[in-house]
Amino acid sequence: MSEQEKIRAAISRQFIESGEKERMMQLLKERLTDAGWNDKLYAYCRGTVNESVKKEILTEIKKFLSENLE
């Protein structure tokens, strides 16, 4: 395993173990519900998410990384 793969695996593990992944999934579901999505639509259109929602989730991921990679 390369050094980059080890770092990626460690970050992924911390992301999951800290509960941050679950928190962000919940945030995404809330934003989609606010935008009028329901479970059927979510399952059908999983790949088409509003750009503002993508940006918000990406910002949260970057925040998590900056706080945990110091």
Is the per-residue pLDDT at 54 higher than 70?
A: yes
Is the per-residue pLDDT at 17 higher than 90?
A: yes
40 versus 15: the higher-pLDDT residue is: 15
Crossing angle for the helix pair 3-17 and 20-34, to the nearest 10 degrees = 70
Is the per-residue pLDDT at 70 higher than 70?
A: no
Task: Find the mean pLDDT for residues 54-70.
Answer: 83
Is the per-residue pLDDT at 9 higher than 80?
A: yes
Which pair of tokens denotes residue 48? 């088409």
What's the pTM value of the predicted model, to 2 decimals? 0.57
